[in-house]
Structure 1
Amino acid sequence: MGYKYVDDIGNIIAEQVDIVAVIGARVPLKAAGRNYKGLCPFHSEKTPSFTVSSERQAYYCFGCQKGGGVINFMMDYENLDFLSAIETLADQYGIDLSRYLSQTDELHRDYSDLYELNRQAARHFYRNMKHSAPAKDYFKRRGLSDETVFHFGLGYAPDSWNDLTNALRRQFSAELMDQVGLTATSKGRQYDRFRDRVMFPIQDLRKRVIGFGGRVLGDQQPKYLNSPDSAVFNKSYHLYGLFSAKDHSGPDKRLLLVEGYMDVISLYEHGVRNAVASLGTAFTEQQAKLIKRYADSVVLLYDGDRAGQQATKRALDIFFAMDFPVYTATIPGGDDPDTYIVRHGREAFERFINDNLRDGYTYLLELAKQELDLEQISGQREYLQQAMTILSPIKDDLIKRVYLNQISQDIGLPVEEIVRTPIRRAPQVTMTDDFRAALLSLILQQPDIARQVREHMFFDELPLPWQQLIEFILTYNGYNNTLALDRFPLDVCAVFDQRQRQAVAEIDRQNWPVLLRQLLIEEIEHDIKRIHQDQTVSHEEKLRQVVTKQKKIALLWNKETL
């Protein structure tokens, strides 16, 4: 779990580091005028379009439109969440984050000792494994290489009540070991929680060990045991293997969600390195948000038995509520991802996934059909009721229509009888939606419009940046990113670049003079407010200026002025 910092922590850290130095340590940059340029790390390109501004402490790529400040860069480049990006920069540049802990933080303390304790415990378990024939044999039988074992830090806790306690008692207090759940105390006696188990360290996005999972080698129960929640570990907020999988989601940015640690590890061993697992609990909304942060879609690879189906349904409900693309693929024959890929290999595994991939809604509709007799009217009625409930989260009417057609084929009823109310059309964007953005796009895209705006009788009432942009466009007979970088700040050029690419509704294109009038009127009304608040001019002068402005507004409302 991350610390709770003051609200402005992002700006505080950004002010203490130089974005050129941060990015330059990761991307080769060359000076280009007042900025720096390099090949974009976020997409493939041969001509540098990735620009970094020391003056604005910002970056922007004119190829893929990624941009922002130093925190955004760390999040995108290192695949970190906000707090992890903050803490990584602080570590690298020697910034003491304890100065910026929120005063409302209940614990208000440094947890580095807990992280260090877990790290030392993981190292101890790893060393134990190296000297334990049963543990080494277990991982060997599971087909794991030394590289994979090391990558995940797998280890072994021997069949002893005090092996770990004795190994770490000189460095860490008994209270601290109890806090992270490595030990427990009963009737004044402290003992190791994990005994005779192969150990699976659980790492956060910064690769810090925050907890453990243990699988028994003998006959004791329970078969699987996880660390309890602690100040640095909450099962609901983490995913096993995400520290690695987030960097292997591929060009389509897809993650696989599996049930167990060994599924993640075995897939990794065979070259499928984008799998994650929940931590021995039901899948949570917080875990779904983690997946959404690092992927554009997810595939659920749960077991096909009743428990697996119920777990799939719960996960689908969470992703549906987030409107996140979710797919399913059920491993056949009682296999799980681990056993299937061991038995058939990576190529067969990936081919099976591709051949059997179904979107979440189709999975639920097929599941509903399996349990009903659609030859009977009662079965059709029940299926229809379930199907409409399944489809209720879909907001896009066109997508919903596809499934309604599928249901229509399943039960032989026309869509109109299934849904008695008309399908709503998606609302059209009109000129009332963000008129400033639409007008800016048109000026950037069509130099002729920029020329007509320049010739408007009230051109000088436009905001100064608008005036400067229009003069620039007319000087160079169009907008040019390269030339603009020498004239405007990088963050302003980033906005221009995005607006130049933005599609504009036809109604806005036809009625751009109305957009211009609306902008001018708003700016003049803003000036009138400023005049009223100005304490440096006389009442008579204020009156004269306000009347002049109001006359301009009156003229603008006259269509002939457009």
Structure 2
Amino acid sequence: MRIPESKIEEINDKVNIVDLVSEYVSLKPKGGRYWGLCPFHNEKTPSFSVTLDKNIYYCFGCHKGGGAINFLMEIEKLDFIDSVKMLAKKAGVTLDLSENDNSEYSGKRDAMLELYKRVSGSFRYILENSESAGQAREYIAARGINQETSEKFELGFAPYDFNWLFNFLKKKNYSLEFLGESGLFSKNKKNFPLFINRLIFPVFSVRNEVIGFSGRELGNRGPKYINTPETLIFHKGSQLYGISQALSDMRKKKQFILCEGNIDVLALHQSGYTNAVAPLGTAFTSEQAKLLKRYADSGIIVFDGDEAGIKATSKAIIICESFGIEVSVAELPQGRDPADIMQKDGVESLHKILKYPITSFEYLYKCAIRAYDVRSPEGMEKVVREIFPYITSIRSDVKRDVCLSRLAEKLGIGKESILSDFLRQKKAPVRRDVVKKDEAIKISDELYLMLAGAANRDYFNIISSSLGIDDLKDKNAVLLFSAVMGCEEAGEETVESLLMRIGEGPLKSLLVEKLSSSQFLINPEDVIRDSVKTIMLRNMMENRARIESDIRNFGLSATSSEEDLKGLISEKLSLDKKIEELKR
């Protein structure tokens, strides 16, 4: 389908790209632009810029850039249609796509979201009103979760009934094929619901959409927890339970609390820690770290104190560190979790634990010396090697050096020995993102002029009134000239519209880079006039050289006449005059 350009223009006019990007990146104003750490690649120093007056973003590190629509497509992994829809909703622009939207993916995704919203509402109603949910209500109360928290997270209940959900949705005219792809039913028995006799925790996206469910068994009929399988809208390894409810506080504090389970998230929020999230019963992943990095610079890990919790904490520390997230660890008593502490010992006990977390280095060192006998050389070596993966993941050279020094000091051995072992270790370091820049474009005089004109559209008429496509030789200059002219003729004023006409590729990256810089801000009219004059002069001199060659070779052709010679001389004299005028 094709969304009318007028609607795209209206959306771009109403969307503030700084506000949009700030939902994902912490931005600070500097030098007329806004800067932050790039959400598309790992970096230590901010190279990601947002230019408000042009409504564009650009990263000088990975060279990604564009307008608001392109940003949403990149950050949310959306197609063009869904990105425009989302921005239209933010901007309050009405899009009537009912007749034109033939995007199968977009339509199916919307339908899936609507399905999950409907089912979530049904689960919630059953928990609140059905006698069959009595055991679920008792469990919630036993864990100390109050009604306000239950409502905040929209907890629900899936009854011990094998037919209700299928029959309910069939009446709503959902097709068998669609329900089979929804993740709500068993793969083996197509009409059997996946969640039976389970307390339901709806999983929300950062946009507050229900995208999946996590269900806790209340009897002994299966795994303690099961989650929605991979679907069109749900990817467990890249989602976090509680992210929607934690987003506001996370942005405000630039910090998150990472706990192990869904009930822990509820307990922490109820205790005032409304920036708590959990990794949906799976091991913490790099994708989840990337998600957290959008909104926070630091975090506190609060996993269980058992062996599995220690291993999970160690892994999460290394992943966070590799993404430049500073994390500390709040240690829980053996066999206890946040929900248990809140319910049995009270909120104050939880406050004391979270008030004084220890650094990642201290936590890992404590775990290592508990596991190995540091009185022996072999034990010392194992402790060192246990901590090496963490030190390897550290992106700061200074911090890495400090950690090596502290490790040597604590073990009472020379730093040189530890450094030597560290450098010799064969284990590959944590992978860094490798940023590949588009193939460099040589900036000719023509392309320089077109870039200046694209950056200063008020003066583009100086170019278009003096030059045409036939006057240009550089293919990228021709493409940019055509794109700007197309925008001018269609009345499209936004940078987003211009970038859409250019399409993906190195020219778009170069244009966004130049638009994000201050290169064409000083005396733009003079720059454009001088460049136009340079190109016109070049073309005239090349044309004059061709005519002079024709005059010198005149008479070699049998068809040549005296009139032809007079015409060539007249044309040369005219060019001589124009060249002299341009040189003044």
Report the CA distance between 1:18 and its aligned residue: 4.8
1:538 aligns with 2:548: no
Cα 1:81/1:256, change in 2 over 3 Å: farther
Maintained 8 Å contact 2:51/2:516: no
1:16 aligns with 2:22: no
1:61-100 aligned within 5 A: 70=68, 81=76, 83=78, 86-91=84-89, 92-95=92-95
Deviates more, 1:228-237 or 1:395-404: 395-404
Report the CA distance between 1:307 and its aligned residue: 0.7
Task: Give the counterpart of 2:178 among 167, 176, 179.
Answer: 176
Cα 1:538/1:43, change in 2 over 3 Å: closer
Maintained 8 Å contact 2:125/2:156: yes
Partner of 1:207: 208
Report the CA distance between 1:289 and its aligned residue: 0.9
Maintained 8 Å contact 1:18/1:57: no
Report the CA distance between 1:386 and its aligned residue: 3.6
Cα 1:129/1:528, change in 2 over 3 Å: same
1:122 aligns with 2:114: no
Maintained 8 Å contact 1:13/1:90: no
Partner of 2:396: 396
Partner of 1:374: 374
Letter of the structure 2 residue corresponding to residue 331 of structure 1: L
Partner of 2:310: 309
Report the CA distance between 1:261 and its aligned residue: 0.9
1:239-265: CA deviation from partner (whole Å, max 9, x where unpaired): 111112121115441111111111111
Cα 1:191/1:413, change in 2 over 3 Å: closer
Report the CA distance between 1:195 and its aligned residue: 1.5
Cα 1:420/1:237, change in 2 over 3 Å: closer
CA distance in 2, matches of 1:541, 1:249: 71
Give unpaired runs (5+ residues) of structure 2.
21-25, 35-49, 58-64, 424-450, 457-493, 496-511, 522-529, 549-584
1:241 aligns with 2:239: no
Letter of the structure 1 residue corresponding to residue 275 of structure 2: N
1:513-528 aligned within 5 A: none
Report the CA distance between 1:382 and its aligned residue: 3.0
Maintained 8 Å contact 1:180/1:211: no
Maintained 8 Å contact 1:229/1:235: yes
CA distance in 1, matches of 2:53, 2:128: 53
Partner of 1:384: 384
Report the CA distance between 1:156 and its aligned residue: 0.9
Maintained 8 Å contact 2:56/2:516: no
CA distance in 2, matches of 1:421, 1:373: 19
Which protein, 1 or 2, shows the higher relative CO under an 8 Å CA cutoff with sep ≥ 6? 2
Report the CA distance between 1:138 and its aligned residue: 2.4
Report the CA distance between 1:303 and its aligned residue: 1.0
Maintained 8 Å contact 1:13/1:86: no
CA distance in 2, matches of 1:207, 1:495: 35
Report the CA distance between 1:381 and its aligned residue: 3.0
Cα 1:530/1:363, change in 2 over 3 Å: farther
Partner of 1:295: 296
Report the CA distance between 1:126 and its aligned residue: 0.9
1:210 alignment partner, SS class? strand
1:140-539 aligned within 5 A: 140-171=141-172, 172-184=174-186, 186=188, 190-249=191-250, 251-359=252-360, 361-420=361-420, 538-539=544-545
1:384 alignment partner, SS class? helix
Partner of 1:110: 108
TM-score (norm: length of structure 1): 0.62
Count of residues paired in the alignment: 420
Maintained 8 Å contact 1:144/1:266: yes
Letter of the structure 2 residue corresponding to residue 229 of structure 1: E
Give unpaired runs (5+ residues) of structure 1.
28-41, 60-66, 424-462, 469-488, 500-523, 543-562
2:216 alignment partner, SS class? strand
CA distance in 2, matches of 1:177, 1:316: 39
CA distance in 2, matches of 1:186, 1:389: 42
1:17 alignment partner, SS class? helix
CA distance in 2, matches of 1:421, 1:379: 15
Report the CA distance between 1:396 and its aligned residue: 2.9
Report the CA distance between 1:43 and its aligned residue: 9.8
Deviates more, 1:326-335 or 1:158-167: 326-335
Cα 1:306/1:532, change in 2 over 3 Å: farther
Cα 1:151/1:73, change in 2 over 3 Å: farther
CA distance in 2, matches of 1:421, 1:214: 47
CA distance in 2, matches of 1:324, 1:526: 50
Report the CA distance between 1:175 and its aligned residue: 3.0
CA distance in 2, matches of 1:384, 1:13: 63
TM-score (norm: length of structure 2): 0.60
CA distance in 2, matches of 1:371, 1:421: 20
CA distance in 1, matches of 2:422, 2:136: 63
CA distance in 1, matches of 2:368, 2:5: 53
2:108 alignment partner, SS class? coil
1:345-396: CA deviation from partner (whole Å, max 9, x where unpaired): 445423322312322x332233222222222222223333444444223343
2:192 alignment partner, SS class? strand
CA distance in 2, matches of 1:336, 1:23: 42
Deviates more, 1:348-357 or 1:251-260: 348-357
Cα 1:94/1:357, change in 2 over 3 Å: farther
2:200 alignment partner, SS class? strand
Letter of the structure 2 residue corresponding to residue 538 of structure 1: R
Report the CA distance between 1:161 and its aligned residue: 0.9
1:460-515: CA deviation from partner (whole Å, max 9, x where unpaired): xxx999xx9xxxxxxxxxxxxxxxxxxxx99999967xx9xxxxxxxxxxxxxxxx
1:131 aligns with 2:129: yes
Maintained 8 Å contact 2:8/2:84: no
Maintained 8 Å contact 1:197/1:214: yes
CA distance in 2, matches of 1:527, 1:237: 54
Cα 1:343/1:71, change in 2 over 3 Å: farther
Maintained 8 Å contact 1:365/1:390: no
Cα 1:119/1:270, change in 2 over 3 Å: same
Cα 1:384/1:55, change in 2 over 3 Å: closer
Letter of the structure 1 residue corresponding to residue 357 of structure 2: N
CA distance in 2, matches of 1:370, 1:13: 66
1:95 alignment partner, SS class? coil
Report the CA distance between 1:179 and its aligned residue: 1.6
Cα 1:336/1:248, change in 2 over 3 Å: same
Cα 1:237/1:384, change in 2 over 3 Å: closer
